[in-house]
Structure 1
Amino acid sequence: MNEIKFIEELKKLNISSEQNKLLKLKKYYEILIEKNKVMNLTAITEIDEVYLKHFYDSLTISKIIDLNLYETFCDIGTGAGFPGIVIKIFYPHLKVTLIESMTKRVEFLKYVIKELELKDIEVINARAEEYAKTNRELFDIVTARAVANINILLEYSIPLVKIGKYFVAMKGKKEEVSTSCLNLLNTSRAKIESFNLLNGDERTLYLFLKQNKTPIKYPRKYNEIKKKNL
């Protein structure tokens, strides 16, 4: 996906692509590739592939929710900043929190934020389940683009979501969502959107509505979560 095609596809998502945003994105790509030489940030390095599988893919969240209507956004397990930093570039009004457990990646994210001169964005060096214990119901939108099972992601994420707001899971193929998990977390499944990237890769977006406070015992400790999903 070259930049021209990228812009065309953003129009279909009703996302504006002003020159300053595109320049920040290009600089982000350059930093990513340079730092990737000494860090394990991404296996995808060709520019067209990065624009499709990282940048555009991050923005497909707009297929299931209009981020213009919200103020606070949290990205769990952001890694090299996908989707969080891409979202911040194209939705600059959002106050963004990135959660990442690996210290080297946290340092990379802080460097990117400084170089791109992004405002109202912070990086938290923590595991999601630990952060969620003491930072409950802070965000309008929480998302995860991680490989973990969707029921695990729900337990990590829902405690962070404000009552009446949303968690978006950005996944590949469809996964089975546990009804008991949703009930225990006082959450309902609001919408599912399935589609394919231009290269044919499958994508599935899940939108979950938090209906009431999350019981204080969730999220459990990491070992308990891994041993038995809700």
Structure 2
Amino acid sequence: MNYFQIMMEACNDIKLGFDEDKYNRFMKYKDMLKLWNNKINLTAIVEDRDIIKKHFVDCMEIFKFSPMKDALDIIDIGTGAGFPGIPIKIMDDRKNITLLDSLNKRINFLNQVVLELKLNKIVCIHGRAEDFSRKIEYREKYDIAVSRAVANLTVLSEFCIPYVKVGGYFIAMKGPAVDEEVKESKKAIDILGGKIESIINVENCELNHNLVVIKKIKRTPKTYPRRSGTVAKKPLK
């Protein structure tokens, strides 16, 4: 199967450039993902074709939100194996990327990926989202916060919106059934300083996902996010 062609077609669809250098970086990333997955739990998706389509192409689809193309400072919260942060960086080397994850073994993997792929202007941080957004060097400093983490949108919003500067965006990469989740999260998003701007359907031959786009319209109150453990146990209502 011609993986280069699959990725090229995906890029053409969202009007992004693609070349051999980007492809080679993705292939090295894929090989590292499979190798490290034998030692630590990074992904349940292990076949080459599935990694290409269900991870790489799916992450690239975030560029369907047009402001992503011009945004320079981006944080990926709960990045796991580096999705979508590393694919974003491979596709646009101008961007300053912060990858945040609560498991140090994943950060060790990501640091090795950054080294071997020779990626610049990318930082991997071990920590909890609700702790780092209280630090002045991270709070309301980013053009865009992204998350592909598996968590309810209300919870994700409290984790992510505090990182976004006023006028910026939080993009949650969610599954096909988001309507009820979006409805239930609106009050929390408002409290945190955000407003749901759009839901962009992302559909390829393998997946049907949605980008929930939340615009930061006012500063997040200093009381948020709440202390570690409270956000998930007692979601805002």
Shorter-chain TM-score: which interval? over 0.9
Tell me by how many angstroms 1:69 deviates: 1.2
- Runs (5+) with no aligned partner, structure 1: none
Counterpart check, 1:218 vs 2:219:
no
How far apart in 2 are the matches of 1:65 and 1:73? 14
Deviates more, 1:135-144 or 1:175-184: 175-184
- 1:35 match: 36
How far apart in 1 are the matches of 2:189 and 2:43? 32
Describe the superposition over 1:55-109 as per-residue Cα deviations: whole angstroms up to 9, x where unpaired: 0011111112332311101000111111101110001000000001101110000
User: Any residues of structure 2 matched to 1:1-230 within 5 Å, and which?
Assistant: 2-134=3-135, 135-175=138-178, 176-177=181-182, 178-199=185-206, 201-230=207-236
Relative distance call for 1:68 and 1:194 in structure 2 (3 A) is: closer
Q: Is the 8 A contact 2:129 2:160 kept in 1?
A: yes
Tell me by how many angstroms 1:202 deviates: 2.3
Instruction: In structure 1, give the amino acid aligned to 2:202.
Output: F
Q: Is the 8 A contact 2:186 2:196 kept in 1?
A: no
Residue correspondences, number: 229
- Runs (5+) with no aligned partner, structure 2: none
Q: TM-score, normalized by length of structure 1?
A: 0.96
Cα RMSD for the two superposed structures = 1.3
How far apart in 2 are the matches of 1:137 and 1:166? 11
How far apart in 2 are the matches of 1:42 and 1:224? 27
How far apart in 1 are the matches of 2:233 and 2:29? 38
Identity of aligned residues (%): 38
2:229 counterpart SS class: helix
Instruction: In structure 2, give the amino acid aligned to 1:107.
Output: N
How far apart in 1 are the matches of 2:43 and 2:82? 11
Tell me by how many angstroms 1:221 deviates: 1.9
